[in-house]
Amino acid sequence: MRVEYLLGAIAPLGPSVLSIGVFDGVHGGHQRLIMRVAELAEREHSRPVAVTFWPHPAAILRPDEAPPLLTTLDEKLALMAGLGALDTVVVIPFTPELSQRTPEAFLDLVAGFCEPRALVEGERFTLGHDRAGTMAYLRELGARRGFRVESKDVRDAAGERVSSSRIRALLREGRVEEAAALLGRLYTLGGEVVRGDQRGRLLGFPTANLRPDAGKALPANGVYAARARLPGEGAAQHAAVCNIGVRPTFGGEPRLLVEAHLLDAEVDLYGLPLALEFVARLREERRFEGIEALKAQIGADAARARALLAADEVVAGRGGDGRDGR
């Protein structure tokens, strides 16, 4: 998959079937749109293309209300590439000037690098200034400009709409398993491992203190069973227990901490990137009366996480190295 950044002129792509959107999370709904793009592109003898934006439009238009991200730009592009369905992704820098374009003016921009044959979007998609480009408007506009517009149902098996905002809401409640069902994969939080106060090591459970990638959505405070992916590894294959919170037993911290204890490995990760895949929430964060009570609970959390992750390995058909063994 080729990635083009629309910072100036790019090589013309020719006839293309498109989907335009933020694609934050590249969730199950996005995946359906992209697979439909690929299907139509093959039928139309055209390129399957996605057009996305960076940064998130809300970060420019409503910075105080911008939602936390499900994916960084690099994560988004890697997930799109992993689908194996797209020829090209065009990344358009989102600016205040871009937000003022009418739907037709935006399509003029798109027509500068491709020849649209079809546009595939979700039912509630809108385009252009003041969201003037509704699906009905775009169908009429497409008829005039020589391409057709198709809306794709992006609902789950229960009939509820799959959306990035719904996934964010589930993460805020710690419902990582339900979020994973909508994403089509485990929710991942990455970042750099930074030095902490070594308190976990003193408790007998050394932790990697993660500085999450800027703007990423954090699951609710609590303790989670997770898998860790270390630098250079292609898959998250290390069982871990992760705590997100403010350490109320020690009087609280001024900011949220993300700490991961690898259950079966002890590796010096300071300064290196680490990614955590959240499998299940074990419990809420709470204050304990003393250090011994906290240590006992951490031990119980670790044992429960180890058992849960081992069972999950069997269900998923994974081999002993954590990769899919089917």
Between the alpha carbon of residue 237 and those of residues 79, 231, 310, the distances in Å are 18, 12, 11
Query: What residues contact residue 39 under an 8 Å CB cut-off, 6+ apart?
Result: none
At residue 209, the pLDDT reads: 93
pLDDT over 90, % of the chain: 78
Q: Of the candidates 278, 303, 301, 298, which has an alpha carbon nearest to the alpha carbon of residue 288?
A: 298
At residue 160, the pLDDT reads: 94
- Please write the tens of the pLDDT for every residue from 7-39: 988 999 999 999 999 999 999 999 999 999 999
At residue 323, the pLDDT reads: 37
At residue 250, the pLDDT reads: 57
User: Is the four-CA dihedral 262, 67, 51, 117 of positive or negative sign?
Assistant: positive
At residue 227, the pLDDT reads: 97
> How much is the average pLDDT of 275-286?
95
The residue whose two tokens read 């905002």 is: 165
At residue 203, the pLDDT reads: 62
> How much is the average pLDDT of 152-158?
89
Q: Of the candidates 245, 252, 233, 253, which has an alpha carbon nearest to the alpha carbon of residue 190?
A: 233
Domains and CATH numbers, the chain: 2-152 (3.40.50.620), 187-316 (2.40.30.30)
**Two structure tokens written together for 215:** 């703007």
Model confidence at 311, pLDDT cuts 50, 70, 90, reads confident
**Two structure tokens written together for 309:** 């992750």
At residue 9, the pLDDT reads: 85
- Whether the upstream peptide bond of residue 67 has omega within 30° of 0, thus cis, is no
235 versus 200: which is more confidently predicted?
A: 235
Between the alpha carbon of residue 275 and those of residues 32, 78, 163, 252, the distances in Å are 26, 14, 23, 25
- Please write the tens of the pLDDT for every residue from 224-267: 999 999 988 989 999 999 999 987 655 556 578 999 999 988 88
Q: Say if residues 36 and 2 touch (Cβ distance below 8 Å).
A: no
Residue 200 has pLDDT above 90, yes or no: no
> How much is the average pLDDT of 198-208?
68
**Distance between CA atoms of 190 and 205, rounded to whole angstroms?**
21
Q: Say if residues 162 and 155 touch (Cβ distance below 8 Å).
A: yes
Backbone φ/ψ region at 91: left (φ over 0), alpha (ψ -120 to 50), beta: beta
Model confidence at 325, pLDDT cuts 50, 70, 90, reads very low
Q: Say if residues 155 and 186 touch (Cβ distance below 8 Å).
A: no
At residue 113, the pLDDT reads: 97
pTM of the model: 0.92
Residue 123 has pLDDT above 60, yes or no: yes
- Please write the tens of the pLDDT for every residue from 66-121: 999 999 999 999 999 999 999 999 999 999 999 999 999 999 999 999 999 999 99
How high is the mean pLDDT of the chain?
91
Q: Of the candidates 243, 256, 253, which has an alpha carbon nearest to the alpha carbon of residue 203?
A: 243
Residue 181 has pLDDT above 90, yes or no: yes
Model confidence at 322, pLDDT cuts 50, 70, 90, reads very low
Query: What residues contact residue 142 under an 8 Å CB cut-off, 6+ apart?
Result: 116, 119, 148, 149
Helix (H, G, I), strand (E, B) or coil at 143: helix
- Beta strand residue intervals within 96-249, DSSP E: 115-122, 148-152, 187-194, 208-212, 222-229, 238-245
User: Is the four-CA dihedral 276, 282, 283, 287 of positive or negative sign?
Assistant: negative
288 versus 273: which is more confidently predicted?
A: 273
At residue 324, the pLDDT reads: 40
**Distance between CA atoms of 213 and 195, rounded to whole angstroms?**
16
Q: Say if residues 322 and 236 touch (Cβ distance below 8 Å).
A: yes
Residue 194 has pLDDT above 50, yes or no: yes
